[in-house]
Structure 1
Amino acid sequence: MKNKSKISFKRSIIQIDICLIVVIAVFIGLYFMLSSNASKKYNNAIQLYSDISGFYDYIEKANFSFKSYLYTENVDDIEKYKQSIKRARNKLNIVKDGIDEEYQWRIDLLNNMVESYQNAATDTKNASPTDYQIKYNEFLKQYSLLEKTSITYYEYLTDDIKTQQEEIHDYEKKLFIMLAMIMILGIVWLILFSIITIKSFTKPLYQILNNIKLIKRGEYDLSDISNTSIEMENLCIALDDMAQHVQKNIENEKEKAALKHQLLEKENENLKKDELLALSELKMLQNQINPHFLFNTLNMIYKTAYRENATDTGAMVDKTAMLLRYALDKANKTSDLYSEIESVENYIYIQEKRFHQRINFVLNVEDNLPNIQVPGLLIQPLIENAVKHGLKMLLKMVKLLLIFKKLMKVL
């Protein structure tokens, strides 16, 4: 492989990306600086329009409530009138806070007109029958004047909104131009990226793929690859090293395969020996003493002992025969509780004869225990373990208590 100082492909891409990001960020920053103020003014104009519209709505509701009061003299109507006037004034205050100072006199004018309207309403409410019509006409006049101002204010705010919209449209045009410039920059970046990729990555990659095909065919003498980036140079070196390692590994695998073949032959021989040994053990087990013969022999010893008046010996032989028969019948099988207890009694009898006075078994079985199904030879190993380890370190007599009873419906 050729070894020259190369430029990192990753570094080249990062440099181009940083330049592109900086240019885009500058364009976007300029746009937001230009459009933020216009957008804020436009939103403010929309909000002022909404607030002034709310003002006239509350004036209309106040006028309707006051007229209803004049006709019905319902106290609720006058209360609604006052609430509507209060909300209308609040709307005016909001508009005044949001409007330019040079136009705030218009809001003061509206406040004065609302004041005149309220005074006319109060005069109408308190008028005598002779002055009522005059005061009422004055009340209607004040409302009419107030209502007519809506056209002027709506036109003013509409013009302001249109002005802000035009500014926003101008900024949108500028944004379009900026986006077009960004797209051009993006296209230029893609062209540069494609050139760098083809020069530094694509062509050497195809040559590497050809070398991989050579490795597949078992040829490990790879051709040199011309490249212009550090990454591709490292990849070429790694591929060359891999080819050498593959060749070594193939030779090692051949040696291992030969050794494995020898080991398999030895294992087959050992398996054959193990099979013969297993068959021999099976035959030995098959040739072991027949249990039926064993029981007949024990029975004969039992009868001989009784004929010779050796009652203890006969009883021990009988218990041993019953214990052995139970063990052979119930090994790895299911038994019942009473059969298990009977087997335990036989085992206890034998152990008492064996240890004489060193151990005293006490078996306590509760009446009316259910004869449930239990695993065969479940209890005897527990007793045997207790005898084995309990008597091991003791010289005095030991008492072993066995209790079978039911607690909380559990045996």
Structure 2
Amino acid sequence: MTTSIQKKIWILASVVLTIMAVIWGALTYYNQKTQDRYNDILQRYLRMNEATVASQQLVASLNNYLLSPTTDRLAQLQAGRDAMLRAKSEASRLRNADNDFEMSSYLHLIDSLVETTDRTLLFHDLKDAEASGRTFSEATRISKYISEMTLALIDKELKTYERFYRGIIEQSEALKRLGLWLLLLITFSLALFAYWFSSSITKPVFTLIQAAKELSRGRFDLKIEVASNDEMSFLAKMFDRMRININHLFLEIQEKAQLEKELQQSKLLLQESQLRSLQSQINPHFLFNTLDTISKKAYLEGSEETSDLLVNVASLLRYNLKRLDRSVTLYDEVRVLQQYIEIQKARFSERLRFHTDIDDSCLHVQLPGLTLQPIVENAVIHAVEPREDGGVIWFRVADGPERVTVEIEDDGPGIAPSVVERMLEGLSPEAESHSTGIGFANVVKRLRLFYAVEDVLDIESGVGAGTKIVLKLPKTRRSEAYVQGPDRG
């Protein structure tokens, strides 16, 4: 049977109540014992004092009767005599080893007072006024002796019980010290118990919090365990079961995503094969001959710029159709790039400013076909087309000891660091879908496959700082893995 948090709270309350009850009981017992002893001593003093009061009342009643002997005063005198005898009986109970002698004298005085009172009444009844007056004086003197003896006995009692009084004071001080130590002990015990009780709740909660943090980081492989036997353990088990279910669901999603990715790749391959099939069905010569005819007709009609534009379009189409799967020289790429720029200048006019700095001595280097035009096309799309005043593109070719460096730079809006990382990894940037070419990611993959090295391209860019694409083309290839056509270079 598990111990729930509610039961732990009841245990804590029971422990506190038990400790309070024990302390209350001990203090009550000690106080009652001391009070009983104190009451007993007080009763002794009161009984001794009763004898003094009774003797004084007896003498007063006797005097009243002698002055005026009536029936009522005789009854009062008889009541006083009975009270004196009762006081004697009560006083005799106070005898002990310490006051035996004094108590004997005290009781004899009481007997003498009663006897003197009886003799005074007898002489009064005999009409002997002198004798009754003498015995009354003796009774008065005995009453004074009783009062003095009472004070002496009380004083002796005080001396006898002095140690008891001092003991009460000492015990009170000891009780205060004991109470202080008990308070400290109870406080320490309750603090330990409260720490244990709170830890039994907070530690499992902290474990669950840590597990939640790990789950938020994607760590679904860590088992969640809580060493307790209350609701927290049940909650941890349910939490761990949820972790397992989420992990299974995550794996299923990954598997589905992988399947969807493979299916998408299959669709892309199918579309590519369909496109190549459609491309093979079109007679390229018919398209080129048609463009040549339109170009010549435009020239004859005096539209020389239109004729040149059509010639450039025809050359660019011919190059794109024949050079995609074969290697070319850097000279060929530069030439077709210039044709592409002429076409774009016809479109953008003065908005497109294209500057070149080319070292002709290194244009013999081999590279995959259609490498430069997609990169420049991206620069046109992002640095020139969106801006009303257009943009500037710099194209540089420089020779080096082992590599030829090709730089394509623009003054456009730049690229975010996360997008730069994707592009260097060969992944398509988000905006590449606007390109009409084969794509930047395709260029990166073909360059690495062509040269069999990874370090063939750098991107220097920042948001609002323009973009520079740097191609580092080796002068010699390490692998012939790149598939080339029949007339590969």
Q: TM-score, normalised by structure 1?
A: 0.46
Point out the structure with max Rg over C-alpha: 2
Tell me: higher relative CO, structure 1 or 2? Use CA pairs within 8 A at least 6 residues apart.
Answer: 1
